[in-house]
Amino acid sequence: MEHISFPPLSRVAICGGTHGNEMSGVYMVREMQKQKADQDGSLSLTTVLSNPRAVDACRRYIDKDLNRCFTEDLLSAPVTDSTPYELRRAQELNAQLGPKGSQEAVDLVCDLHNTTANMGLCLIFYSLDWITLHIYKYMKSKITSAPVRAIQLDIPVSEAYSLESVGKHGCAIEVGPQPGGVVRADIFNLVKEALDLTIEWLQGFNSGSTFEGGEVEVYTMVKSVDYPRDPTTNEITAAIHPELQDNDFKLLRPGDPMFLKFSGEAVKHEGEELYPFFINECAYYEKKIACHLGKKSNITLPSASVMKN
Amino acid sequence: MSGVTLVNLWVKNSAEIQRKRVETKPFITNPKAVEKCTRYVDTDLNRAFSPENLSAPEGDDLPYEVQRAQEINRIFGPKGSPEAYDVIFDLHNTTSNMGCTLILESSKDHFNLQMMNYIKKAIAPASCLVLLNEHPLLKYSTSRSIAKHPVGLEVGPQPQGVLRSNIFEAMRVILKHALDFIELFNEGMEFPPCTVEVFWVSERIDYPRDANGNIIAMVHPNLQDCDWEPLNPGDPMFQTFDGKTIHYQGPGTVYPTFINEAAYYEKQQAFVITRRETLVASAIRKA
């Protein structure tokens, strides 16, 4: 079997409150800062409250979605008095944890998110990164209280717009369902377990363990579907159908109901069979997304260990 | 979002809410907040209908919601006067797992008790519970309190900003039965005495907090989503962020609800405690 080695991963950033109303990350970062968790064996941990103004207001963002501000263009744009808060903040975070693409960037950025969708625990990343995939494989083997899945966005890193793209390796840990502004103990405990396992894997990796390769299942986004809307007012005319609601990652076949109009008719899925996720995510109404649809595939992971010098 | 969506639907086409001999008016109480998809702009509208606010001199310097409360009082009130609307249905969602809940403000409102009895029987075997908030300190000045018979409809769980089909349709069905009741009443039907089980609000329980006011624990997984179920002394109530359990220490079994409502963190409320009581509603008939 193929084997791959990496230099040690010693600098890790845990970010919460990138969206100010996604409370697991907010409370996790605060708790870690209270416990003064900054050195853990071979790891130097940086905890960051990404969007403090949005956290104070308990809102997703103040001017602009922070988690769309990390493209190379936006990170290098000049800042003026009229620059939206989040663009400024993204540049600050890039200076602190990056710069993106450079040798000084932290080894791993873990960005904690919640979703109103019934997605369990998902690791979301851009391109196929063996480190994040190994962490995913490790989490999936140990966590029994919720399903653990991986979603790959398939966007080149230079166009990657979210916070975790600042680190040499990165992933978003997305856990749901949880309403905005609410902290659920079961969801918080799941996030904590995921973080503890991430740190455990990193410690193991840095101390020379070999992590076996193997097949892992990954979802890749294909497209998004918007709500049916009134053509003149643009207001939605249907809700996610009760048979689709909460059925993230359950195969959607042509003819399966997707939406239930307020007038009573069902709108069915047309086109190829795909896996829906981010079904009825609160923040996506304004992005014109009722759900994402994706394909499932198996990826063969090589075994991995730290480079010995 | 259920109330917003239903009212917008009915403003466009009110056929569904028309009944003989009843004037029904669909109304968006806080349009600025709806536009921003936020609970409120300056202050909680559903706490703004106090006598002080309603009688305050009008002015643009007043918080938006106080101005709006005064306007609503002019349209549907004045509160306490014979000109006030007979009934206001106030449509709400909650992040708590409360199912369909009707909120009553007075244990002596026999018309409302009869309506709630009618609704409960009409939707059976589906459940619709009645929450009574008549507590002298915990009762608050709601928009519906303008009317002679205020009826709160609270349906959850639903995250803020999200429209769930099942929650939307449940609220729609409750309103349908409520309006049917009013129509029957207006046609002269007599409703004989009946008993109605209510959950009577007795106490508000806050999160444990530190000296800075930050919460230091979350609703315990054993209590989360268990609205209306008995909470016994010694049962887990909160879990701290570092994993410790805090137990309920009250004197007896209580019935918690509004467990982990998003909007209540800032109101110092993790959940509210109720006791189960049976109220007797007198017979009613249109005069």
Summarize pLDDT for A248-276 with one digit per residue, the tens: 999 999 999 999 999 999 999 999 999 99
Across B239-268, average pLDDT: 97
| Residue numbers in B near A279 (CB within 8 A) | none
| Residue numbers in A near B219 (CB within 8 A) | 184-185
Contact between chains at A59 and B263 (C-beta distance less than 8 A): no
Residue B64 confidence class, pLDDT cut points 50, 70, 90? very high
Summarize pLDDT for A210-246 with one digit per residue, the tens: 999 999 999 999 999 999 999 999 999 999 999 999 9
Contact between chains at B214 and A177 (C-beta distance less than 8 A): no
Distance from CA of B242 to the nearest CA of A (A): 8
The predicted structure's pLDDT at residue A309: 72
Backbone angles phi, psi at A290, to 5 degrees: -90, -35
d(Cα A21, Cα A181) in Å, to the nearest integer?
Answer: 5
The predicted structure's pLDDT at residue A156: 81
Summarize pLDDT for B85-104 with one digit per residue, the tens: 999 999 999 999 999 999 99
Check pLDDT > 80 for residue B138: no
Dihedral (C-alpha) B259, A56, A96, A65: value to the nearest 10 degrees? 80
For the stretch B261-278, what's the b/e string if a residue is b when 16 or more beta carbons lie within 10 angstroms of its beta carbon?
bbbbbeeebbbbbbeeee
Contact between chains at B95 and A262 (C-beta distance less than 8 A): no
The predicted structure's pLDDT at residue B28: 98
Q: What angle do CA A5, A6, A9 make, to 5 degrees?
A: 145
Cross-chain CB nearest to A280 (options B38, B162, B239): B162
Summarize pLDDT for B25-37 with one digit per residue, the tens: 999 999 999 999 9
Q: Give SS3 for B202.
A: strand
List residues of B whose CB lies inside 8 A of any A CB: 5, 8-9, 38, 95, 157-166, 168, 214-215, 218-221, 224, 239, 241-242, 260, 262-263, 265
Distance from CA of A183 to the nearest CA of B (A): 7
Give the bridge partners for A118, in sequence order: none
The predicted structure's pLDDT at residue A30: 96
The predicted structure's pLDDT at residue A158: 73
The predicted structure's pLDDT at residue A120: 98
Contact between chains at A181 and B224 (C-beta distance less than 8 A): no
Summarize pLDDT for B117-137 with one digit per residue, the tens: 999 999 999 999 999 999 888
| Residue numbers in B near A240 (CB within 8 A) | 164-165
The predicted structure's pLDDT at residue A155: 82
Backbone angles phi, psi at B164, to 5 degrees: -100, 135
String of DSSP letters for B212-242: TS-B-EEE-TTTTT-TTS-B-TTSEEEEETT
Contact between chains at A116 and B159 (C-beta distance less than 8 A): yes
The predicted structure's pLDDT at residue A38: 81
The predicted structure's pLDDT at residue B140: 81
| Residue numbers in A near B5 (CB within 8 A) | 239, 262
The predicted structure's pLDDT at residue A129: 87
Can you list the residues of chain A whose pLDDT is less than 50?
A: none
The predicted structure's pLDDT at residue A39: 81
The predicted structure's pLDDT at residue B139: 79
pTM over the 0.90 mark: yes
Q: Which of B165, B214, B266 to mutate to test the interface with A (most CBs of A within 10 A)?
A: B165
The predicted structure's pLDDT at residue B74: 97
| Residue numbers in A near B8 (CB within 8 A) | 235
B161 → chain A, closest CA residue? A282
What chain A holds in terms of domains, given with CATH numbers, is 3-217+300-306 (3.40.630.10)
CA quadruple B270, B259, A144, B234: dihedral sign:
positive
| Active-site residue list of B | 154
Q: How far is CA B225 from CA B95, B103, B267, in A?
A: 10, 19, 20
The predicted structure's pLDDT at residue A100: 95
